[in-house]
Structure 1
């Protein structure tokens, strides 16, 4: 099953020597534009959102980015990417079958080279052959990735997945489509079991299972840690010193908060029960506002005088 190369730098609109900060900035700008909840043209936005998420998934991770750069223009050379954990061309191999998916949010190129899950489950490293004496053998389990938005985790969802299976012995290819339920409050790294969608069993034994490892889609406003969410809020130095009021986003809508006087850089403000659901318990994680004290890129002559007055005042106070 052939795969198409993905130019992740082009997807984010950055150069190959872009810094980590530039990559994050480019992603956040595009994510705000194409996020399915805010985009005007939702039909094209969803595909674009998945594309930039996949690109950011690779380029924001130093190890994955290094591997991607190693592939380079020679990516389709049979010897390219040696040392990668590769599966079938375009998906996975288990037993005597090749697998590829659509509907998971990741391309075949990503699944082949950058999937976070193991390629095989059970004893899938064994060569494919019928058991001696005609005995039965359960099919191998397989594992892939599925991109889940924070909004889907917040509400739960149902995803339609198509799987193409090619039998290397017979040459036959079969495509099946099935529904996968995204559990309420599903966490990053959690696995969703889809029974009976692994490789085929032999001798009348059952088929293996498919395990989809959840990857939370990168969000322009939040990062997740288990059921907690984190939002970075930039504040000016005088806001940190004097205190201030701000409106911050949450998955439920905007929230008004007060920054206390004397706030410090990196300080976290906790808003209880505004994170992701914790299963069906009715409880939720928390939302943490992380304060980033920023300085202006440019200042006017008048502003400079005010900063100098503040400096001189502070020096005078400390000398007494």
Structure 2
């Protein structure tokens, strides 16, 4: 390839070298010519010599690039199109976890298809609905000895009886007695770790929200933390005692 005429259009030395390489290739690749070369040396193919098997000598120029390098090229083509090992496909599985586990993180067991063994999967704190966890090498086997694919675990959050998640924020509806909403006071409200007291101002209306900074969900990445948001609900009593009814009637009369 180095001395091929196409690469050396105006280099007679390169052309001569190419002819010598070509002739040497023909001798090495032919058993009869190799034997003649072993017996008579270079003169076996010298046109000025005694005529020992002159066909295919060094000075001939028939044949071309493919004659010399065709075998090499075909071999490379076969190697290029030979099937190669491929990574196996991924497996997608979904699991349901509680909101508490999503907020705090946990280790969850999952059963893989066609595998009786349970696999422990680490659930990072702060994960949200629909997000996926990648477990390397736990997917389907590869072809021709290729590596296994991965396992993708998709998260489904169970509905919580008290809290609703929106991003990193937690929302909670709090029943507030009419008297507390009208007169003001303290109200005990739930959190994931217990309870706290919040102050309800006088004249609070239904639907009013109270935001507790930094009491929401910590992000899986970075230092961001959401808030805990309480929304006031003022329930209407369905059954009243005689005394309660009388007091309410007096209140109406005052208005």
**TM-score bucket of the superposed structures, by smaller chain:** 0.5 to 0.7
- Within a 5 Å distance, the mapping from 1:173-184 to structure 2 comes to 174-184=115-125
Residue in structure 1 matching 2:145, options 198, 201, 204: 204
Contact conserved, 1:189 with 1:215, CA < 8 A, in 2?
Answer: yes
- In the other structure, the counterpart of 1:154 is 103
Residue 224 of structure 1 aligns to a residue whose secondary structure is: strand
Residue in structure 1 matching 2:199, options 242, 258, 262: 258
- In the other structure, the counterpart of 1:272 is 213
Pairing 1:225–2:154 present: no
Q: Distance in 1 between matches of 2:135 and 2:186?
A: 47
Larger radius of gyration: 2
Q: Distance in 1 between matches of 2:186 and 2:97?
A: 33
Q: Tell me the alpha carbon deviations over residues 24-50 of structure 1, each in whole angstroms, 9 at most, x when there is no partner.
A: xxxxxxxxxxxxxxxxxxxxxxxxxxx
Q: Distance in 2 between matches of 1:204 and 1:176?
A: 23
Q: Tell me the alpha carbon deviations over residues 134-170 of structure 1, each in whole angstroms, 9 at most, x when there is no partner.
A: 44443222322222223323332222323241xxxxx
- In the other structure, the counterpart of 1:73 is none
Q: Distance in 2 between matches of 1:179 and 1:235?
A: 43
* Coordinate RMSD, CA, aligned: 2.2
Using structure 2 for the length normalisation, give the TM-score: 0.61
**Number of residue pairs aligned between Structure 1 and Structure 2:** 175
- In the other structure, the counterpart of 1:195 is 136
Q: Distance in 2 between matches of 1:144 and 1:313?
A: 64
Pairing 1:185–2:134 present: no
Q: Distance in 1 between matches of 2:109 and 2:126?
A: 19
Q: Distance in 1 between matches of 2:196 and 2:88?
A: 50
Pairing 1:297–2:246 present: no
Pairing 1:247–2:188 present: yes
Using structure 1 for the length normalisation, give the TM-score: 0.50
Residue in structure 2 matching 1:142, options 91, 102, 114: 91
Structure 2, gaps ≥5 residues long: 1-80
- In the other structure, the counterpart of 2:24 is none
Residue 241 of structure 1 aligns to a residue whose secondary structure is: helix
- In the other structure, the counterpart of 2:40 is none
Q: Distance in 2 between matches of 1:310 and 1:140?
A: 72
Q: Distance in 2 between matches of 1:153 and 1:241?
A: 37
- Within a 5 Å distance, the mapping from 1:1-320 to structure 2 comes to 134-165=83-114, 174-279=115-220, 281-314=222-255
Q: Tell me the alpha carbon deviations over residues 74-110 of structure 1, each in whole angstroms, 9 at most, x when there is no partner.
A: xxxxxxxxxxxxxxxxxxxxxxxxxxxxxxxxxxxxx
Question: How far did residue 282 of structure 1 move?
Answer: 4.5
